[in-house]
Structure 1
């Protein structure tokens, strides 16, 4: 019975998290247990447990006497997430480069993911790129062999997408990111752990810089809109 409850809780957590990451539950939305229970065809108990877990992981905020809400993610929050991603991605790449059979892993796992990203850029204008990109990085996290590292990074990766922290909006960023992916794959295939760590960190840092450009541009556009006072623009 306990295992069954944990299974339902895990199912609810995964499905609600996906709704948050995909923007189906946008910032400011109140998360209603009854609605989710009907949607997921689960009893309120695993839904409530899943919401508590999502709140602990930073995907929801609990307001006393009002329930759970989808938070607004500020640029400062996104920069903090990128800082953590930079450090942890570097560790994952370093450990992955030292893993036996890493050259085969690059050939059979990373290269097909890279090829799909390249295809999406040139045939689909980049649409769908982010989903494959996170799978590319997640593969490196998993092959690092550190399960706790995978959990932390998967959570941070979800929060970046949840907070619309994609740097792919910057013109030319996807193309640059693909070149960086090639360099990371080469370092991994060579088993060069220090180079793999450095390149992985630089990759995330450049993504953070590109995200900063998006925020600056969006803020400037907001300030220039007619009828809005620049005094109240962050």
Structure 2
């Protein structure tokens, strides 16, 4: 019975996470427990356990006597998160460069060719997908479950922010160049070079997002 309960609340957490990432539960949304129980056809217990999971992940915030709300990611949050994730993914690139073999490089070459094709065609959703696949491949090559876990947790927060850095002028070309620099270091089996290039890539993404925010603010004031 206990295992079944744990499985149910995990399933509920997955469904709520999907609704949040799809924008169906936007930042600031109050989660009405009664309505959610009816909608998901579950009791309060698995729902509340699921809410605890998402609160621990940072996707929700709990306010005493008010309940749970979908978290809102601020510019300060992004300023604090990006240097951390740059360090962590930089370390993944470092470890990947130490362990990469010829077969791994061939697989990465295919992903980078796909990335270049999408950049040239300005296919932004497809570029994001290829970009994600490359980051995931490096995390797997690093073969450090603790790094992978912390990066996954931070990525959920960044995903909550629904970031679109490639909308910044020239960003897609810059991003591609940064990825190719990481790949060149991997091919050279240069751990320090791969780490530095990956950190640069993540920090420049934050710069692009900051520029977009400034442009948006200026357009509202115009």
- TM-score, normalized by length of structure 2? 0.88
Secondary structure at the residue paired with 2:124? Answer: coil
- Contact 2:119 2:176 (C-alpha < 8 Å) held by counterparts: no
What's the C-alpha RMSD, in Å, of the aligned pairs?
A: 2.2
**Alignment partner of 1:116 is 2:129:** no
Give 2:70's aligned residue.
70
Q: How does 1:84-103 map onto structure 2 within 5 Å?
A: 84-99=84-99, 101=101, 103=102
How far 1:42 moved relative to its partner? Answer: 4.7
Q: State the alpha-carbon separation in 2 of the partners of residues 96 and 156 from structure 1.
A: 20
Change (3 A) 1:187 1:174: same
71 and 145 in structure 1: CA distance in 2 versus 1, 3 angstrom threshold: same
Instruction: Give unpaired runs (5+ residues) of structure 2.
Output: none
Asked whether the equivalents of residues 60 and 69 of structure 1 are also in contact (C-alpha less than 8 Å), the reply is yes
Q: Which residue of 1 aligns with 2:138?
A: 140
Indicate whether 1:61 and 2:61 are aligned. yes
Change (3 A) 1:123 1:100: closer
Aligned positions of 1:171-210 closer than 5 A? 171-210=169-208
Q: Structure 1: how far apart are the matches of 2:60 and 2:79? A: 18
Give the structure 2 partner of residue 107 of structure 1: 106
On the 8 A contact 1:90/1:200 being kept in 2, the answer is yes
Change (3 A) 1:127 1:191: same
Residue 177 (structure 1) shift:
0.8
Native 8 Å contact 2:93 2:198 kept in 1: yes
3-state secondary structure, aligned to 1:30 = coil
- Shift in Å at residue 37 of structure 1? 4.2
Judged with a 3 Å threshold, the aligned counterparts in structure 2 of structure 1 residues 6 and 114 are, in CA distance, closer, same or farther, namely farther
Alignment check: 8 A CA contact 2:115 2:127 kept: yes
SS at match of 2:183: helix
**CA deviation after TM superposition for structure 1 residue 158, in Å:** 2.2
Instruction: Find the aligned partners of 1:19 and 1:35 in 2 and give their Cα distance.
Output: 15
